[in-house]
Amino acid sequence: MNKQLMIKIALFVCLISFSVEKIEAKLSQPDYVLYGTATWFGGPLAVESEISLYLENQLLTVTKYSMGTVDALNGLYALRVPMDSLDPRSYGKARPGDPATIFINGKKVAEIIIGEYGVAERLDIDPSNLAGDQSVVNIMDGQIKEGDSGQTDVMLTLTLSKASTELVTVDWTTLEQTVANAAQGGEACDFDVDFIHSNGTVEFAIGATTTFVSVPICGDSIIEPSETFEVFINNSQNAMTQFDRAIATILDDDGQPQLRGFDQVIFEPESGMITQSFNVKLSRAYEQNVTVNYMTQAVSATPGSDFIPVSGMLTIPAGDQEAFINIDVLADNDDEGIEVFRLVLSEPVNATLVNNPMTAFIMDANRDEQTKPDQDRGVNNQDVPALTSPTDVVFAPNAHDVYVGTLFQGGHIVHLGFDNGRLPLKQVINNQLVGFESALLNKIRDVKMAADGTTLYVAASGDHAINVFSRDTQTGQLSLLQVIENGSPDDMGLGEVYAMALSPGGAHLYAVGSLSDSVAVFAVDALDGQLSYVEHETNSVNDPSDVGPPVVFMDRPIDIKVAADGSAVYVAADYSSALVVFERDGTDGSLNFKESFKSGVNGVQNLGGAAALWATNDNENVYVVGRADNTVARFTVSASGQLSYADAVTQVDADFIGLDAPTAIMGNGDNSRIYALGFDDSSMVSFNRDVIDGHLIFADIEQDNIKDVTDLAGPIGMDLSADNQWILVAAAIDNAIMVFRTHLNDLIFDDGFEEQP
């Protein structure tokens, strides 16, 4: 044998030896297999429920099986556990005697010891096998009718499978869902809140087998389907949890749905005919057909001349929620006022009528418009995501900048430019930004600008705080200057601070704490705008430093204004349905309670749910909107500052069109126009103000989805430019800022041939 052949043979032997060693090291022992039935407290598991085995000494899940995925197992589960006998042990493999835990959908159901290599063992698994003598706790679904207002509690029952000789406790919390018709939670009842976020711990008394969880539900009158949220239980002590969550359902108020018609504003065509659709809507879809008869009825409009009369039967098919009745409206050449006809519904089947008859208001084609939408110049959260749920808007004095407070992700301030109605984005502020970390912006309710434009004040009801921002008058950029938080360190009456007002000259700022039932007074530093606490006045509390009596009828104050001459401060109290008047010290800004005007007392009317107010610049009138009454009440102010209830314009008396659930009111600089927002019907109504006695005369209406108006759903805040030519409206439902031109804005520029400077 030659030397070269011997080398080749030696190499071949080495390679064979090396390969054998590698093969031996990689050889695995046969799998250990567990199989059997898998149930949840005796009940079947859903298809694709996950069975998993966790190897305790490797802190690793080493095998899984999804129920029903292998037909040959005929409904059983099977877990193949990879095994290893050679050192060092391969990560993720087991050996006989290893402790392991089995889970169903992440819930522990069994503790085992790994068996021998290649052995298949049967183990029927169920969480009850671990329970031993422990009781099993469950939470049951619950439901409640929401009501039209206030709070009610939905009760969910927790049960034990058997009475325990030990105290059983269970933690619980509410959870919002991501399904259709999910209820919206919040810290307090508000326009966008269905239930109050809640949590706690409940106990089963020794020997008891039931207990309850209670969650506050917010009533409203909004037409909507039933809504749901979850209540989740965990951390049960001395018991085992079977089903850890339940569904709470907020039911719309009746067994049969409500059938609601909607009033319509119709703009008469300049020629020919237009077809107006009247929306008839159910409060929720119903499992049977809903039918109702309809017929037009003339009031001041003439059938055949102003509109074509119709009659018939309307059907809303089972499962649907709305239908439409079409009526043709005709043009004429007459200069005329508002013409009215009604659409009367009768004999409903499977529903209850609400708002019947519907009223149609025909606006003359030749009328003088008070406001005009500039829909191409607004902005919404598709352009600026932080504009989600805007609550208030304010112009800077130079009208080159606009500031919006929103509820988006814990509270944002959106800084927009203003260029002939256009609103370019300049700055978005939240407390995650450098320089703004200490800002408290949860649930911004009001935004106010100092007269000189150097300071912006932001009220955040969720944080019970007022934020003070310095403003660069050249660029409009904001920087955080100060944060005033209630209880830090003293109670200043700012619980759920809802609205603010600056005194003439800006020496003092006044704020209403809705939860505190208080008015807080702050001095404003003349150099930088910082606030210093002075005092606060609280409902039913006698202030010994005041010469006046204790404050009365100031439950849940939500708006505030200072008289134009600085002599008084006026407060709108929602729950009291009242206007509250304070005398103001012009030197230190302190307040003395003077009197309250409560709806239904001493001849005062139409202040139900007093939501907002406006004091005119000529110091002759105070106007208060009644959210519950759909009204604007008027008070006169004498030369000595004494207020007297005068009258009110009301929706029920057809003094105006629209303005369902008014939320805001303001006037222009020369006191000739008053503007108000209706939240429920998404409207802005304009009034002419009589220069002699101040009574209001309906002038115009803008309404969402009518005649070029878009992005006006849920109007909640507004502001006028200093030149009174532009109105900005914050629309909470449409997540938008809507731009309107006033009667002072020269509409000649609408044709696009040139722009207004």
Per-residue pLDDT tens digits for 122-167: 999 998 887 767 788 999 999 887 877 888 999 999 999 888 888 9
Same domain, 478 and 386: yes
First to last CA, the chain: 108
Give this prediction's pTM: 0.61
Same-domain check for residues 247 and 325 = no
| Mean pLDDT along residues 510-514 | 97
Bridging pattern class, strands 358-363 and 264-267: parallel
- The residues pairing with 32 across neighbouring beta strands, listed in sequence order, are 81
Q: Which of 348, 363, 378 is the last residue of a domain?
A: 363
Residue 216 has pLDDT above 90, yes or no: yes
Instruction: Check residue 752 and give its pLDDT.
Output: 39
In tens, the pLDDT along 6-65 reads: 433 333 333 333 333 343 444 568 999 999 999 988 888 888 999 999 999 989 999 999
Query: What per-residue confidence (pLDDT) applies to 21?
Result: 37
Q: Are 464 and 487 in contact (CB under 8 A)?
A: yes
Band of residue 223 on the pLDDT scale cut at 50, 70, 90 = low
Q: Does a structural domain hold residue 457?
A: yes
pLDDT confidence tier of residue 375, bands split at 50, 70 and 90:
low
Q: Would strands 142-145 and 245-251 be described as parallel, antiparallel, or unpaired?
A: parallel
Range of the domain at 66: 26-131
Q: In which order are the strands placed within the sheet that holds 273-282?
A: 322-330, 273-282, 258-261, 352-354
- What integer pLDDT is reported at residue 675 of this predicted model? 96
Domain-located, residue 614: no
b (16+ CB within 10 A) / e for 192-218: ebbbbbeeeebebeeeebebebebbbb
Residues 719 and 750 both lie in one domain: yes
What is the tally of helices (H) and strands (E) in the chain? 2, 58
Position 228 in a domain: yes
Q: How confident is the model at residue 755 (pLDDT cuts 50, 70, 90)?
A: very low
Segment 699-746, tens digit of pLDDT: 888 888 877 788 889 999 999 999 899 999 999 999 999 999 888 775
Same domain, 389 and 469: yes
Q: Could you give the strand order of the β-sheet that contains 497-502, starting from the edge strand earlier in sequence? A: 497-502, 508-513, 518-524, 531-538
Specify which of 225-229, 623-627, 710-714 reaches the highest per-range mean pLDDT. 623-627
| 286 shares a domain with 374 | no
Mean pLDDT computed over every residue of the chain: 88
Q: Which phi and psi angles does 556 have, rounded to 5°? A: 55, 65
Q: How confident is the model at residue 549 (pLDDT cuts 50, 70, 90)?
A: confident
**In the listed set 251, 285, 304, which residue is the last one of a domain according to the structure?**
251
Say if residues 548 and 569 touch (Cβ distance below 8 Å): no
Q: Is residue 300 part of a domain?
A: yes
How far apart CA 81 and CA 66 sit, in angstroms, is 15
Q: Where are the beta strands (DSSP E) in 185-319?
A: 185-186, 195-196, 199-204, 210-218, 227-237, 239-241, 245-251, 258-261, 264-267, 273-282, 290-298, 311-316
Higher pLDDT, 521 or 3: 521
In a domain, 507, yes or no: no
Stretch 577-592: mean pLDDT: 95
C-alpha to C-alpha distance for 239 and 134, rounded to whole angstroms: 5
Cβ atoms of 274 and 370 closer than 8 Å = no
Distance CA(401)–CA(415), nearest Å, equals 7
Question: Does any domain span residue 74?
Answer: yes
DSSP 326: E
Q: Do 146 and 123 belong together in one domain?
A: no
Domain identity same for 402 and 350: no
**Domain at 353, CATH number:** 2.60.40.2030
- pLDDT digits over 389-440, tens only? 999 999 999 889 999 999 999 999 999 999 888 999 999 999 999 999 999 9
pLDDT score recorded for residue 291: 92
Q: Count the domains in the chain.
A: 4
Greatest mean pLDDT range, 274-283, 361-370, 662-671 = 662-671
List Cα–Cα distances, 358 to 314, 714, 749, in angstroms: 15, 21, 37
Where does a domain end: 251, 283, 299?
251
Q: Is residue 14 part of a domain?
A: no
Q: What is the mean predicted confidence (pLDDT) over 251-266?
A: 75
Strands 227-237 and 631-637: unpaired
Contacting residues for 2 by C-beta, under 8 A, at least 6 apart: none
Whichever domain contains 38, its CATH number is 2.60.40.10
The two three-digit tokens of residue 48, written as one number: 């694709």
Of all residues in the chain, what percent carry a pLDDT higher than 70?
A: 91
Listed range (65-79, 130-144, 245-259, 674-688) with the worst mean pLDDT: 245-259
Contacts of 300 (CB under 8 A, 6+ apart): 338, 339, 340, 341
SS3 content of the chain, % helix, strand, coil (to 5): 5, 50, 45
pLDDT confidence tier of residue 508, bands split at 50, 70 and 90: very high
Together in a domain, 317 and 376: no
The whole-number pLDDT of residue 241 equals 85
The candidate with the shortest Cα–Cα distance to 236, out of 294, 184, 172, is 172
Alpha carbon distance 696, 173 (integer Å): 50
Q: What is the distance between the alpha carbons of residues 475 and 491, in angstroms, rounded to a whole number?
A: 36
Q: What pLDDT, on a 0 to 100 scale, did the predictor assign at position 127?
A: 86
State the pLDDT at residue 658.
85
Single-letter residue type at 320: D
Q: pLDDT confidence of 578, banded at 50, 70, 90?
A: very high
pLDDT-above-90 percentage for the chain: 62
Assign 544 a pLDDT band (cuts: 50, 70, 90). confident
Burial class (CB within 10 angstroms; exposed 0-12, middle 13-18, buried 19+) of 42: exposed
Q: Are residues 351 and 402 in the same domain?
A: no
Do 60 and 157 fall within a single domain? no
Residue 586 lies in a domain: no
User: Which residue type does 360 have?
Assistant: A
Tell me how far apart the alpha carbons of residues 394 and 730 are, in angstroms, rounded to a whole number.
Answer: 10
In order of 24, 337, 368, 668, 698, the CA distances from 743 in angstroms are 93, 18, 8, 11, 14
Is there a single domain that holds both residue 214 and residue 247?
Answer: yes
Instruction: Provide the pLDDT for residue 36.
Output: 94
SS3 432: coil
Instruction: Give burial (CB, 10 Å; 0-12/13-18/19+) of 611.
Output: buried
Together in a domain, 315 and 344: yes
